[in-house]
């Protein structure tokens, strides 16, 4: 029996990268493409603020084609729903039956994804769902995942961690109440190496800026 064909929602960050790593161990699933939203005015991955050039480099490094969904800023719920419906039609035409996500424990987010995909006849799957996030963070780091914090919500986490490496030292610096995986939106990351990559990316951390209440660290090619 052939494995189920799946797209994987790729945020450019650690959880989606690790979800890909875990999904590739599932012999009943074949991830055939990455799905990413890019905010048009900035030409960067939404929320994670990763440059499109690095997104393309990530896709090449993991060895998968990329489907980019461009969204405006601001983007209404209706606009977002329409562009995602269009993307899912492309997925269905490729014989895809499900989309995998790196979500960890936010039930409302999971329900939203399940409902949206069910409406177009696809299934949402969650390879990392329910994992203890402290254990998962350490597992990712010990497993060779290398990432940089590209976005921080200073209302939830210290602004100065923007641009920091996602490592054991970073975990030790996080105040109590900050999720080690940033699942509550405390921070977002960009992965540059890991067991899901065929080769590392060569990157550098540039300027840090504050925009619309968030602190962003610009990561570019070294």
* pLDDT tens track for 9-47: 999 999 999 999 999 999 999 999 999 999 988 999 998
Q: Rounded CA gap, 115 and 196, in Å?
A: 29
Q: Which residue has the higher pLDDT, 2 or 50?
A: 50
At residue 181, φ and ψ (nearest 5 deg) are -105, 0
Tell me whether residue 115 is exposed, middle or buried, using C-beta atoms within 10 angstroms of its C-beta: 0 to 12, 13 to 18, 19 or more: exposed
What pLDDT is stored for residue 67 in this prediction? 97
Report the top-level CATH class of 4-125.
alpha beta
Does pLDDT of 74 surpass 90?
Answer: no
Say how many C-beta atoms besides its own lie within 10 A of residue 140's C-beta: 24
What pLDDT is stored for residue 189 in this prediction? 98
Q: State the Cα torsion 101-171-133-206 to the nearest 10°.
A: -10
What pLDDT is stored for residue 1 in this prediction? 77
Q: What is the DSSP string of 30-83?
A: EEEEEEEEEETTTTEETTT--BHHHHHHHHHHHT--EEEEEE-SS--HHHHHHH
Does pLDDT of 136 surpass 90?
Answer: yes
Mean pLDDT of 138-153: 98
What pLDDT is stored for residue 37 in this prediction? 95
Q: Which residue has the higher pLDDT, 2 or 142?
A: 142
Mean pLDDT of 104-108: 97
Q: Rounded CA gap, 173 and 188, in Å?
A: 16
How much of the chain, in percent, has pLDDT values that exceed 70?
100
Mean pLDDT of 134-138: 98
Mean pLDDT of 168-196: 97
Does pLDDT of 207 surpass 80?
Answer: yes
Residue 56: pLDDT band (50, 70, 90) is very high
Residue 219 structure tokens: 């990561």
What pLDDT is stored for residue 41 in this prediction? 87
Residue 2: pLDDT band (50, 70, 90) is confident
The whole-model pTM stands at 0.96
What pLDDT is stored for residue 13 in this prediction? 98
- Provide the mean pLDDT of the chain: 96
Does pLDDT of 188 surpass 90?
Answer: yes
SS3 100: strand
Q: Rounded CA gap, 192 and 111, in Å?
A: 30
Delimit the domains of the chain by residue range: 4-125, 133-221
Q: Rounded CA gap, 28 and 6, in Å?
A: 10
């Amino acid at each position: 029996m052939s494995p189920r064909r799946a797209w994987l929602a790729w945020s450019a960050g650690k959880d989606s990268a690790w979800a890909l790593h875990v999904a590739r161990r599932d012999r009943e699933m074949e991830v055939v493409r990455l799905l990413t939203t890019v905010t048009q005015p900035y030409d960067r991955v939404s929320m994670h603020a990763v440059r499109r050039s690095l997104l393309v480099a990530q896709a090449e490094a993991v060895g998968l084609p990329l489907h980019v969904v461009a969204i405006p800023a601001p983007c209404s719920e209706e606009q977002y729903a329409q562009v995602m419906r269009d993307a899912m039609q492309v997925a269905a035409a490729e014989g895809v039956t499900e989309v995998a996500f790196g979500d960890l424990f936010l039930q409302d987010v999971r329900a939203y994804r399940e409902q949206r995909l069910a409406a177009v006849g696809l299934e949402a799957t969650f390879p990392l769902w329910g994992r203890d996030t402290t254990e998962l963070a350490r597992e990712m780091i010990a497993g060779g995942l290398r990432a940089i914090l590209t976005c921080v919500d200073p209302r939830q986490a210290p602004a100065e961690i923007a641009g920091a490496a996602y490592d054991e030292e970073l975990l030790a610096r996080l105040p109590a109440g900050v999720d080690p995986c940033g699942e509550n939106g405390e921070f977002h990351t960009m992965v540059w190496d890991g067991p899901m990559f065929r080769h590392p990316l060569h990157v550098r951390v540039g300027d840090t800026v504050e925009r619309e209440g968030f602190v962003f660290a610009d990561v570019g090619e070294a």
